[in-house]
Structure 1
Amino acid sequence: MSQSTTSHSCPERAVERCTPSCPRKAVAPIEADAFQAAFKPDPSAVANMRDSTAAFLRRFGLSGRLASSVVLVVSELVTNAIKHGHGEVELEIRVVGGTILVSVTDENPAPAVLRQAGPDDTSGRGMALVDAYSDKWGSSGEETWCEFRYDTAGSAA
């Protein structure tokens, strides 16, 4: 599993934004093969995004170790954006031809970095988990993304 420093650009997105009259988060499938949510940087959103990710993956028959890995990485990326980002957080997940693409954006221009946490550190392992579980990842600053490849049986490739 390797780190990629290349910026990932997703196709044009239809984003549903929160308005004063809507709930604290907006969650909507944007295409048959995509899921997107935009929400305020509130730690309670992490559990909702884990649950939504698992439900989205089940629509494609993706479960087991692969789905657990994607859910774990989504949890880490969303947590990272909430703790270190600025402004609204967006999560997008796409399933495209044997690849699951995960993208988390916020308004912080500083890219996510892989660092070595010490044995007594209580945080700092999130990007190490992303690196360990995903097939490829990168950060352009406002966006941190990763990919998971799988075979047609839904197993990690």
Structure 2
Amino acid sequence: MRGISIFNLQKINHKLLSQRRSSREEAQAKEIMGLARHITAISAAILVVGMVGSVCSSVESAPNTQVVTVLCNSEVYFRGDPFAISLAYVIADLETQTPSRKGYDYRNISPYPNAFAYGRANCNKNITSSDCEKCLVAANTTMISGCGSRIGARAVLLDCSMRYEQYPF
């Protein structure tokens, strides 16, 4: 040990410590790279699931046409009554115009002064316009089957409602 000075021993010790440190750092770097690969794979999986979810949520579904209530006016109209023509106009207009209105809420009145008919329809704001139209057709069918030739009726379904009367409301 004569030829090795304290200075040289310190240099050798420092070199050994550096080698140990670099092999530890290398192991840590490998571990970090492995974690990065896992995170990338998980992120890709989340992205794919999110994309599939958004595609599935944009698929059109049927509106909920479960009947909540049907109310009928006690008065009736008869075949050939001018009110029948006014009512046909109001119902057709409600079915076509409501889905295109902001907030799916629409009121109307027939243009025939002989026998006015007044109407209102609205749909759940969270359904599509085509689902709104389908729901209103179901509401009309519900009113016709439940109220027949009444001068006023209202059908409330889970996703929409429709009402008509012989008077303003």
TM category (shorter chain) comes to: under 0.3
Could you state the TM-score of these two structures normalised by the residue count of structure 2?
0.26
Could you state the TM-score of these two structures normalised by the residue count of structure 1?
0.28
Larger Rg belongs to? 2
Higher helix share: 2
